[in-house]
Amino acid sequence: MKHDPALSGKLIDGKAIARRLTDRVKAEAEALRERTGKIPGLAVVLVGDDPASEVYVKNKAIQTHRAGMRSFMHMLPETTSQDELLELIERLNADPQIHGILVQLPLPRQIDPILVTNAIAPHKDVDGLGEVNAGRLSLGIDGLVPCTPLGCLMLLKETLPDLRGLHAVIIGASNLVGKPMAQLLLKEGCTVSVGHIDTRDPRGLAREGDILVVATGKNGLVRGDWVKPGATVIDVGITRIALPDGKTRLVGDVAFDEAAPVAGHITPVPGGVGPMTIACLLHNTLQAARAILDHASPDHKAS
Ligand SMILES: Nc1nc2c(c(=O)[nH]1)N[C@@H](CN(C=O)c1ccc(C(=O)N[C@@H](CCC(=O)O)C(=O)O)cc1)CN2
């Protein structure tokens, strides 16, 4: 994606913000090691050979090492049964070297993702997708918060001095992003609207947002005339598209070239929300390790 230099003041630099967060996590993981003699450990489980997922889990392992934490990778074949995956999760739940567990999504058809995420011990559920952590978030109680919406919130807080009273419109109501994002923004005092597949006039709804978070998986869905002038736009979508010359490039759910001139601030793809997802995973792993190793309550500040 080409970025007009005139737009550079509008760009929310997720890469830089993620780097700062990772540096903080690294320093705090080192302090935890000095205090307890223990190193935070993250287990990531990938079932199958989806190429995008393979890239994400490899990047997670690299970043985990960079943050001074231990990475445990479990790469399972596409044919893995649900019971085999549940047995692995049980072992990871009981393993004292592991403080965080993440099962990469999507999972093959024979495996129920809700059943699997609920099998992860709530205090090791660094994806925050299990019913205990999801329930905590919906009640406004501290817990482990899903990484992508947590990263989006951090980007918004870096960009806007006060979220209170702003109208936040979220397009997409997934368990992974849209629903937890709504809960987080409600907690920040935003007025929150969530658009989904059956919303009659998504463009009209989007245009009302002082904050517009888009997480649909439909590349280029949000056009320039969906954006309220001056709005802060957070694009969660990442799709790899083929170009006529045979190369590929990553694009978001927002038609960047149309939306950026209208927006007050906007995240690019790549380099926006994506890097924050991994940085927040490290942040959550540190939170989980602290709660376990410092014998603190599993309830803790998520940001
Ligand atoms: N269990 C989970 N599964 C999935 C999650 C999740 O949070 N938990 N999120 C997504 C994928 N994802 C992390 O798993 C993820 C997506 C994108 C990036 C990222 O850094 N993107 C870069 C571009 C990387 C590239 O070159 O392909 C960017 O946007 O700049 C990190 C993590 C679905 N599954």
Q: Where are the domains of the chain?
A: 36-123, 146-273
pLDDT digits (tens, 9 = 90+) for 140-158: 999 999 999 999 999 999 9
Count CB atoms within 10 A of the CB of residue 204: 11
Written as one letter, the residue type at 179 is: K
Confidence of residue 300 (pLDDT cuts 50, 70, 90): very low
ipTM: 0.98
Q: Which two tokens stand for residue 11?
A: 């760009």
Ligand 1 centroid distance, CA of 129 (Å) = 15
Is pLDDT above 70 for 93? yes
Decide if 36-123 and 146-273 have a common fold: yes
- Higher pLDDT residue, 300 or 270? 270
Q: Which of 124, 125, 127, 287 is catalytic?
A: 127
Catalytic, 104? Answer: yes
Please tell us whether the domain made up of 36-123 is placed in CATH 3.40.50.10860. yes
In angstroms, rounded to a whole number, what is the distance separating the alpha carbons of residues 152 and 14? 9
Catalytic, 60? Answer: yes
**Average pLDDT over the chain, rounded to an integer:** 95
Ligand 1 centroid distance, CA of 57 (Å) = 8
| Lining residues, ligand 1, CB within 6 Å | 55-56, 102-105, 127, 147-148, 238, 250, 269-271, 274-275, 277-278
Is pLDDT above 80 for 218? yes
CATH superfamily for domain 146-273:
NAD(P)-binding Rossmann-like Domain (3.40.50.720)
Contacts of 54 (CB under 8 A, 6+ apart): 46
**What number is the average pLDDT over the span 232-244?**
97
Q: Which of 10, 60, 179, 228 is catalytic?
A: 60
Cβ–Cβ under 8 Å, residues 265 and 10: yes
Ligand 1 atom at minimal distance to the Cα of residue 270: 30
Catalytic, 247? Answer: no
